[in-house]
Amino acid sequence: MGISLSKLTEKTNIWPWLLLAPLGIYMLIFFVVPLAEVAIMSFTEPKVSLANYQKFLTGALYQRVFLNTFMTAAFVTLCCLLVGYPLAYLMAHSKPRTAMLILLLVTMSFWTSFLVRTYAWMVLLGNNGPLIAFLQMIGFDKPPQVLFTRFSSTLAMVHILAPYMIMNIYTVMKKIDPALIRSAESLGARGWSLFRHIYLPLTAPGIANGSVLVFVICLGFYVTPVLLGSPREQMIAGLIGHQIEEFLAFGLGSAMAMILLVVTLIILTIYHRRFGLDKLWG
Amino acid sequence: MTNYLQLSNITKTYGHFTALDDVSLSVDKGEFVTFLGPSGSGKTTTLMIIAGFEKASGGSVEIGGQSISQLAPHERNIGIVFQNYALFPHKTAVENVYFPLQMRGVSRSQGLRRAEDMLSLVGLKGFGHRHPKELSGGQQQRVALARALVFEPSLLLLDEPLGALDKNLREQMQIEIKRIQRSLGVTTIFVTHDQSEAMSMSDRIVVFEKGGIEQAAAPLDIYHRPQTSFVAAFIGESNLIPATIASAVAGTAESPTLGAFDYASTDVLADGQKVTLLIRPEHIKLSRNPIDGRKNVRMVVETIVNYGDNALVIGRAGDIPMRVRVLGADVVIIKEGEECCISWMPDAVFVITR
């Protein structure tokens, strides 16, 4: 009995792998191979050496862009949290109609292509757009430059990434047992103390999940900062694009990409150790 | 001090639906009162109104002569143990118990000491550093109890707290809760739909049905002298026989199917009054032949459920379904499908007028 059973499981064991094969092959051809190529290029272009990494580590400009990218990502994450937390709260605890309306607005914005959203911001914030017109109307003779600044790119990135934060926090808030809140009230908590001691810690996993997701996506953001941001305040993805498109410096571009990848993996590893990546997806 | 907790004419409506209709009740200080009833009978709604999570549509709640109807839940100083304990998952056991003290401004060192003491009282000495998910169901239950008691509440509310535990643990916790409640002397309201829990723990049982109180009395009173057919049917097993009072002076009633009855009631009854007669299954004797000095009735046996130490014999006397509880050894005299004789003494017959 035991023998035949183990034979059976041995036989059936290959099925999951067969089912996984199409996806595996696809990922191999379109993800693993190109990535490996980038990794190899970073050491071989234009000749086999560590020169590309040396160049990055000694170039003040590159490091400034790198630092700027992390600062921007952190700032965008913070803004997403400040905007997203109250919105998620409203979604989770309003009357069904209000909650549905906010959910609809958030998901609609989420489903719209981020390229479309980026162009929408260009129209809204541009010199001939409604914001500048409004500023002129209320008495600015020479309205400030809004588009192509750090402000406009940050604003657009917060708008584009906030749904990730909102959805993560919302899911956690929705799962909180109402009896916990009632119980806290019956024990004498209310208002700020209820929030600080009970509600906030209970929603912390959502905050952690949303933040790491927004931060990591933001690190690699390309289109929005390039189209909306100040040319002097580049982010790393834009710089990589620059190296490859303008200077044809495939090696240096690849080295930067690898460094970004490694740093991102390190962040995810730390997060995984602390909270568990599996929780990131609900 | 009597009338410690006073509910006066509590009404609760949801739109056209009346969940509670004119509920009044007084509870003495230190008393253990159980709200018993089927789901939807209004017992939990009443509890939530006392706790302040539901607002009554009418009536008032007073504790120690002070109205608390207008107070928010956090101002009422009432300890509650919820159905699923509602322990804070991000806090350890001792931090959970410390929480109500923290909210009352007790210093951390003193508060944690009191929390530890309370944990010892509920039998969880040395478990304080564990998180709720590292504790068993019964242990979580004890933490919840400690947390609801540590701030010396004016009232303790228990909302079906034993529902999630298995039978053995449940019986153990019944005894534990009773012991702790007695030692602290805290006035307690216990909500359950489990009648054996209500019988074994309470000083007084309040039976709820359809948004009102059917009867409020000591457990044995409820069992032996139910005031309505609902209470008689809901508590324990019962045989209910519709009848008419034949002679109130002689103490006889007449059942259309079972004939004349002697009963022993001290209630004021009138000739011709429609009543329901209650006979508990354990007060009926099963025999082959009629027994002198008792009321004898023929019964056809339909089912015998043998529990070993005792057996339940289910059958019909005429068109009336009857249940008889006999000792396990006595059941051998009868088989399913046979006819037998059942009999009882007049004092086993209790008259229900409602």
Domain borders along chain B are 5-229, 237-352
Written as tens digits, the pLDDT of chain B (354 aa) is 468 999 999 999 998 898 999 999 999 999 999 999 998 899 999 999 999 999 999 999 999 989 999 999 999 999 999 988 999 999 999 999 999 999 999 999 999 999 999 999 998 999 999 999 999 988 999 999 999 999 999 999 999 888 878 888 888 889 989 999 999 999 999 999 888 889 989 999 999 999 999 999 999 999 988 999 999 989 888 999 888 888 888 888 888 888 888 888 777 788 888 888 899 999 998 888 888 888 888 899 998 888 888 889 999 988 889 999 988 777 777 888 888 889 898 888 898 987
Q: Around B76, how many Cα atoms within 13 Å sit in the side-chain half-sphere? A: 29
Nearest residue, CB atoms, A193 vs list B88, B103, B151: B103
Strand order in the sheet with B259-262: B259-262, B252-255, B239-247, B274-279, B350-352
Q: Does A281 score more than 80 pLDDT?
A: no
Q: What are the structural domain ranges in chain A? A: 1-44, 52-281
Which residues, including other chains, have CB under 8 Å from residue B318's CB and lie 6 or more apart?
A: B257, B258
DSSP secondary structure of A103-157: HHHHHHHHHS-HHHHHHHHHHHHSTTSHHHHHHHHTT-SSPPP-TTSHHHHHHHH
Cis preceding linkage at A46, omega within 30? yes
Yes or no: say if B236 and B325 are a contact pair by the CB < 8 Å rule: no
Domain A52-281 adopts which CATH fold?
A: MetI-like fold (1.10.3720)
Q: CA–CA separation, B130 vs B116, rounded Å? A: 12
Mutate to test the interface with B, among A186, A190, A193 (most CBs of B within 10 A): A186
Kindly report the nearest CA distance between residue B204 and chain A, in angstroms: 25
Shortest distance between the Cα of B90 and any Cα of chain A, in A, equals 7
Task: Spell out which residues of chain B touch residue A183, defining contact as CB-CB under 8 Å.
Answer: 80, 82, 86, 88
> Quick check: B103 and A189 CB within 8 A?
yes
| pLDDT surpasses 80 at A177 | yes
* Average pLDDT over every residue of A147-174: 92
> Quick check: A255 pLDDT over 60?
yes
Calculate how close chain B gets to A191, using CA atoms only, in Å: 10
Assigned CATH topology for domain B237-352: OB fold (Dihydrolipoamide Acetyltransferase, E2P) (2.40.50)
Neighbours of B162 (CB within 10 A): 25
Does A189 lie at the interface with B, CB-CB under 8 angstroms?
A: yes
Beta bridge partners of B325: B312
pLDDT at A282: 42
Angle CA B192–B197–B199, to nearest 5: 110
Q: What is the ipTM of this complex?
A: 0.80
Stretch 57-96 of chain B: residues touching chain A, C-beta under 8 Å: 72-74, 76-80, 82-84, 86, 88-90
Q: How many helices (H) and strands (E) does chain A have?
A: 15, 0
Report the DSSP pairing between strands B32-36 and B204-209.
parallel
Can you identify the CATH homologous superfamily of domain B5-229?
P-loop containing nucleotide triphosphate hydrolases (3.40.50.300)
Give the model's pLDDT for residue B1.
44
* Whole-number pLDDT of residue A149: 86
Q: Do B79 and A186 touch (CB under 8 A)?
A: yes
With beta carbons less than 8 A apart as the criterion, state whether A251 and A41 touch.
yes
Q: Is the dihedral of CA A191, A197, A198, A201 positive or negative?
A: positive
Question: CA-nearest residue of chain A to B97?
Answer: A187
**Are the beta carbons of B88 and A190 separated by less than 8 Å?**
no
The verdict on a CB contact (< 8 Å) between B84 and A177 is yes
* Per-residue pLDDT tens over the stretch A93-126: 999 999 999 999 999 988 888 889 888 998 998 8
Q: State how far the Cα of B141 lies from the Cα of B147, in Å rounded to an integer.
A: 10
DSSP B350: E
> In the prediction, which pLDDT does A9 show?
55
What is residue B131's DSSP assignment? -
Q: What is the pTM of this model?
A: 0.81
Q: Are B288 and B341 in contact (CB under 8 A)?
A: yes
3-state secondary structure of A1: coil
